[in-house]
A and B are shown apart, each in its own frame.
Chain A
Amino acid sequence: MIQKDIVIIGGGPAGLAAAVAAHQAGNRSILILERDSVLGGILNQCIHNGFGLHVFKEELTGPEYAARYIRQVEACGIEVKLDTMVIDLTADKIVTAINEKDGLLQIQAQAVILAMGCRERPRGALNIPGSRPSGIFSAGTAQRFVNIEGYMPGHQIVILGSGDIGLIMARRLTLEGAAVKMVCEIMPYSGGLKRNIVQCLDDYGIPLRLSHTVTQIHGKDRVTGVTVAKVDSDRNPIPGSEEFVACDTLLLSVGLIPENELTRKAGIVINPKTLGAIVDESLTTSIEGIFAAGNVLHVHDLVDYVSTEAELAGKNAVKYVSGRLVKNESVAVVTGSGVRYTVPSAIHPAIAETITTIRFRTDNVYKDSYVSVDLDGERLQHIKKRILTPGEMEQVLIPRKWLSERPGLATITIKIEEE
């Protein structure tokens, strides 16, 4: 059995940043296991710009952003195994992986960082009725075909779901010569970033139909069209509002799901809201020494936040390996009204960083509302926000001082308060 201090599962943005941070924190026994033949993960197919504004203070494409971290990983001499799929993870941190060259590998890790990313929700998750022809793609699959393989998935496109990948693909497919007829969003608001709606739809005159969904897929061999209908406030199609839209392709951008098969195999507790592990402020999961960061933990809006989150996991994995991550009392982070989830779910005041970032998403669109932070009912923060939407990740910063000044503190509640 191979022995490693830190095994990082996934060489996308989270895994890369975690590895560099762990190296910088002094560890020299790090192994990245990546299932693809190159590092960088999904960033490789995200050839649009808009990455890196927070981390590098400049606008990069996905591959450029990834390259910055890949160069650091290489400069640090961190060991990487490509084309390597982890097929098992146990609670005592035995990682089983396979590849062509080494065959089957078993690695006893002292610490494991989960950085497997997420996958797209398929058609089945929506149960869109109709036939099952070719021409139905998830937006990310279409992105791979167009940006990596050089193939067009269709000529006339309808996109269901206004998540960021769907918006980005509306623009990409237009630039590559396809006609994007519309983007339908079942919610009354978009699931993507505002800037993407402006730059990917508005700039190209692609209509965004809010409160609309696809109620039927037509076509025997290949998609010939879809029925689009308006939905009521309970998201049920409104009879009489149906409209047939001819197209040969339906792209689905209907949500991302953290890819936690290995997490489950190890018996780690999953948060039903994020579908990622439940973690504390050190990004430790329910198993000490197993950390999670990036989209496998919760789906992020910007890769920059993936990187900063993963750096924390890398740093704490080193602390854990060297016996410096000793925990005692913890404070629970509670989701108050308007907050769908928080990461982390608990903070250990004794070992927390000077400032702990709590990331969260709201459960709806809130205008001119306040993000409040209560410590056992005592309001310590009340910040006005012009707009809060579920498509954008929010954060609050918790100074350790607040916690250390309040021994016996039980809860930190994050909530949205309307005027």
Chain B
Amino acid sequence: MVDVLIIGAGVVGASVARALSQYELNAVVIEKNHDVCEETSKANSGIVHAGYDALPGTMKAKFNLLGSRMMASFCRDLDVPYRNNGSLILAFCDNDLPRLAALKEQGELNGVEGLRLLTAAEAKRLEPNLNAGVVGAMLAPSGAVVDPFELTIAQAELAAVNGIDFVFDAEVRAIRKTTSGFLVTTDRGDYETKVVVNCAGVRADELNNLVSTRKLSIIPRKGEYCLFDKQVGTLVEHTIFQMPTELGKGVLVTPTAEGNLLIGPSAVDVADKDDVSTTAEGLAEVVRKARQSIVSVPTGFVITAFAGLRATERDGDFVIGEAPDVPGFYNAAGIESPGLTSAPAIGDHLAASIAIALGLELKKNPIRKRPGTIRFETLDTDRKAAMIRDNPDYGKIVCRCELVTAAEIRDAIRRPLGATTIDGVKRRARAGSGRCQGGFCSPKVIRILAEELGIDPLEIVKSDQHSIILVGFDKDDM
């Protein structure tokens, strides 16, 4: 019997685990994929939203603001790339101007500070590449960008070093209410637990509906993105939004926390909760809409495209807290945008509720900070020289596009909940995330992974268990 079973190791599950790990308890995170951060948390805009566009009084408004306010210091403690670059919301016609003013009022009602309406000229002073058709804008100075992978991974690592277990490749097959709690059946065994926290992303409705009569319904809403070479990462400084619509915040143009340029997302409801394929129409739409904001979006510099699924709940708000008819079953469901921003605050909130319910006590000396991987590329010359003296592996560049050293890759594998896959290395150490997209470094990363994990290169996978990369030796098929 464990105290808490957290289902899902995306950013929400990791946030809950991190927050709970500060208490004395016995908790497990189960995840159906092979690593943390494998679904929506890896495929989103990476934005810390200021909090002006959620309707006042909603869960979204509340947690967005909490998340936005805590994010800077939180990312400092967890060594997560974060940059407070500010957001600009553009108006393209005079009809948009009153809507922009209303958005500002709404933001102020939500508690967002510093919102300011700008004339077109003021906006263009801030962002010289803005489309000539812009007639006005709102500046949200608290808007920021964050590395969504690191925000998830860092919290999971902190939870792990504080004693929370993570079990991967374990999809939930059934949940049964018992006299003392729940019996959760997974691909990798049964778990008896006092409390379940449902952080299952696009499948959170299915889990909730196994035990609660208050049915949830999540319709995955696909968002497609194009990511650009860092060479054009400074095309804009702020995150450039368009006026929000009922389908979402529209297509944005933004620098990422890592210094790339990102455009997207599209917004299309899909039937298949596994469908993260990109489409010709979706990508074309993203480019077309991005060009409404920034005409000079340099499509020749796209290095990859991807799609993610927003977990959009029918009622449009986050569903956070204990299911009213199932004591001990906590939901963090419908966590679509601004979910990334809100996640750490949602984690804190749910952990506090669960701690009260279970009478948990805070650990005497929990670990509160997490050192990230050292980014060799960002160090100054003297520090680089010193690092190589201490560990010659810092003198071996493996990924030439992002200048990632062998030492960083080994660290990504050796650290708590370390990488076991090519994508895992990519998300933790950036090897393969640059302009050649792993063309040069993947053979080397495979070799290092095989060596560190003590397995054969033929067993190395890209992400999921069946995503093998090499199929055999030369002439095997002859």
Contacts and interface: CB of A to CB of B under 8 A. Distances in A.
Given A134-B469, A221-B465, A87 B403 contact: yes
Interface stretch (A143-151, A378-386, A410-418): A143-151
Interface in A218-235: 220-222
Contact of B443 (A103, A144, A152): A144
A135 B422 CA distance: 13
B375 interface: no
Given A133-B467, A176-B474, A119 B436 contact: yes
B392 A101 contact: yes
A44 interface: no
B466 interface: yes
Contacts of A178: 477
Interface string A111-144: 0000000011011110101111111001011001
A131 B128 CA distance: 36
Nearest to B382: A104
B302 interface: yes
Contacts of A99: 395-396
B400 interface: yes
Contacts of B440: 119, 141
B448 to A, nearest CB: 13
B467 A221 contact: yes
Interface residues of A, number: 54
Given A129-B283, A152-B471, A152-B472, A83 B396 contact: yes
B471 A103 contact: no
Contacts of A96: 381
B467 to A, nearest CB: 4
Nearest to A264: B231
Given A134-B468, A149-B443, A152-B473, A129 B437 contact: no
Interface string A226-268: 0000000000010000000000100000000000010010000
Nearest to A106: B381
Overall SS of chain A's interface: mixed
B364 interface: no
Contact of A119 (B279, B439, B462): B439
Nearest to B470: A151
Interface string B202-243: 000000000000000000000000110001000000000000
Chain A CB within 10 Å, residue with most, of B226, B303, B458, B474: B474
Contacts of A85: 397, 400, 403
A215 B283 CA distance: 13
B21 to A, nearest CB: 31
B469 A153 contact: yes
A222 B465 CA distance: 10
Given A153-B471, A222-B468, A129 B279 contact: yes
Contacts of A327: none
A103 B405 CA distance: 13
Interface string A3-30: 0000000000000000000000000000
A63 B465 CA distance: 37
A100 B466 contact: no
Interface stretch (B71-79, B270-278, B310-318): B270-278
Contacts of B472: 151-152
A131 B477 CA distance: 27
A101 B388 CA distance: 9
B277 A131 contact: yes
A177 interface: yes
B437 A153 contact: no
A124 B464 CA distance: 21
A124 B227 contact: yes
Nearest to A84: B395
Nearest to B460: A134
A237 B304 CA distance: 21
B280 to A, nearest CB: 5
B466 to A, nearest CB: 4
B280 A215 contact: yes
A153 B472 CA distance: 8
A140 B437 CA distance: 13
Given A119-B439, A141-B443, A221-B465, A130 B277 contact: yes
Interface string B434-471: 01111110110000000000000110011111111111
Contacts of A237: 280
Contacts of B468: 134, 222
A35 interface: yes
A287 interface: no
Contacts of B276: 131-132
Contacts of A119: 435-436, 439-440
A87 B400 CA distance: 9
Contact of B304 (A98, A122, A177, A264): A122
A122 B389 CA distance: 35
A243 B393 CA distance: 48
Nearest to A85: B397
A122 B439 CA distance: 8
A141 B441 CA distance: 9
A416 B201 CA distance: 59
Contact of B395 (A101, A123, A155): A101
Contacts of A166: none
A221 B470 contact: no
A138 B392 contact: no
Contacts of A83: 395-396
Contacts of A150: 473-474
Contacts of A151: 457-458, 470-474
Contact of A134 (B394, B437, B462): B462
B439 A140 contact: yes
Given A122-B303, A129-B283, A177-B478, A98 B227 contact: no
A127 B439 contact: no
Interface in B376-390: 377, 381, 384-385, 388-389
Nearest to A98: B395
A359 B439 CA distance: 28
A261 B471 CA distance: 34
A294 interface: no
Max count, chain B CB within 10 A of own CB: residue among A104, A215, A237 = A104
Interface of A: 35, 83, 85, 87, 96, 98-104, 106, 119-120, 122-125, 127, 129-135, 138, 140-141, 144-146, 148-155, 176-178, 215-217, 220-222, 237, 248, 261, 264
Given A124-B227, A140-B439, A152-B471, 9 more contacts: A98-B395, A103-B388, A120-B436, A123-B304, A129-B278, A135-B469, A151-B457, A177-B475, A221-B467
Interface of B: 226-227, 231, 274, 276-280, 282-283, 300, 302-306, 377, 381, 384-385, 388-389, 392-397, 400-401, 403, 422, 435-440, 442-443, 457-458, 461-478
Query: Lowest 8 A-B CB distances belong to which pairs?
Result: A177-B477, A124-B304, A134-B462, A221-B466, A122-B437, A104-B385, A177-B478, A100-B392
11 contacts: A83-B395, A87-B403, A98-B397, A100-B395, A125-B300, A129-B282, A131-B277, A134-B462, A141-B440, A152-B473, A215-B280
